[in-house]
Structure 1
Amino acid sequence: MTELSALYQAVVLDHNRAPRNRHEVQPHDGEADGNNPLCGDWVHVEFRLDPAGCIEDIGFNGEGCAISTASASIMTEVLKGRTLDEARRIGERFQHLVTDREAPLPAADDPDLEKLLALAGVRDYPMRVKCATLAWHTLQAAIEAPASADSE
């Protein structure tokens, strides 16, 4: 195992053991549920916007494999303070990162994807891509869906 892949594996294991932002967000401006019935992963994502339209708080809950949990944890860290448009753009770049095996990896100091590079290895394992992207697809659904009345 290369030194870089060992570092990435350590990041995934760390986020799986101690997920960041695994909490409810109350009140919240958006929420959605996602699941991957093939492996049993499920996630619930909530976010709240500040008056400027940036993600003030974002949290998740759910059950899943190490990759699914780490991806949700890293996603919440990366997106705090970002606008919804930035969150969409980063999500699209992440999707490309983990699905296009021919695409070059972004620079390690890429402010959008630097923390997400730990998950780039899943592109070599197509069955794991859904695990890595579950939280991101769920966030996209939360952005597109109106907040429920009981979230306020």
Structure 2
Amino acid sequence: MSEQDIYEEHVLDHYEDPYHRGPFESATHAHDGKNPLCGDVIHIDLKLSDDGKIDEAWFDGQGCVISQASASMLIEKIEGKSLKEVLQFSATDMLELFGPKLTPNRQKCCLLSWRVLQTAVHSPVGSPGEATNGEDGASFGGPSLGEES
């Protein structure tokens, strides 16, 4: 398979004109994730309704065409769905949604947003898992313990 085959028209459409990309101030749930092997980064913001539906979904990030286009496809797909439907949406479903067959390394790019979504639905904004109030220990401005040599 050539690189050309990977970037089918709908993939490029989502990359060049992504669905709901950017900051979303009204999020009730959010999560970030990255692929340490290639540096792709995805942030997902969700607005969940009281009855467990995804009213709005947004993403932001940086990385390859595959990671960014697949995030756009996923956000468009899940909006309006129930939490149950979102949690039943599998990695295989995500790869099928993307379309072109991918090598195992490129599948990681495609599945990054799916992995972030799986955590985002369980991560209310402002919860202890989020580094919003300095809980990550880096708020004092020095290196973290892991950064000291």
Please give the range of the TM-score, normalised by the shorter of the 2 chains: 0.7 to 0.9
The structure that has the greater radius of gyration is 2
CA change 1:51–1:144 in 2 (3 A) is: closer
TM-score with structure 1 setting the length: 0.74
Identity of aligned residues (%): 36
Q: What root-mean-square deviation, in Å, do the aligned CA atoms of Structure 1 and Structure 2 show?
A: 2.4
| Residues in 1 aligned to 2:7 and 2:85: alpha-carbon distance in whole angstroms | 24
Residue in 1 that maps onto 2:118:
140
Q: Which has the higher helix share?
A: 1
**C-alpha distance in 2, partners of 1:87/1:55?**
9
When the two structures are superposed, what TM-score results if normalisation uses the length of structure 2?
0.75
CA contact (8 A) 2:11 2:98 kept: no
The match for 1:102 is none
Kindly indicate whether structure 1 or structure 2 has the higher relative contact order, using CA contacts under 8 Å at least 6 residues apart.
1
Please list every run of 5 or more consecutive structure 2 residues that lacks an aligned counterpart in the other structure.
133-149
For residue 46 of structure 2, give the secondary structure of its aligned residue in structure 1: strand
Equivalent in the alignment of 1:44? 43
Write out per-residue CA displacement over residues 39-87 of structure 1, whole angstroms, 9 at most, x where no aligned residue: 1100110100123321111001110111101110000110010011111
Unmatched segments (≥5 aa) in structure 1: 100-112
Q: How many residues align?
A: 126
Aligned match of 1:109: none
- Counterpart of 2:92 in structure 1 is 96
Q: For residues 8 and 39 of structure 1, what CA distance do their matches in structure 2 show? A: 18
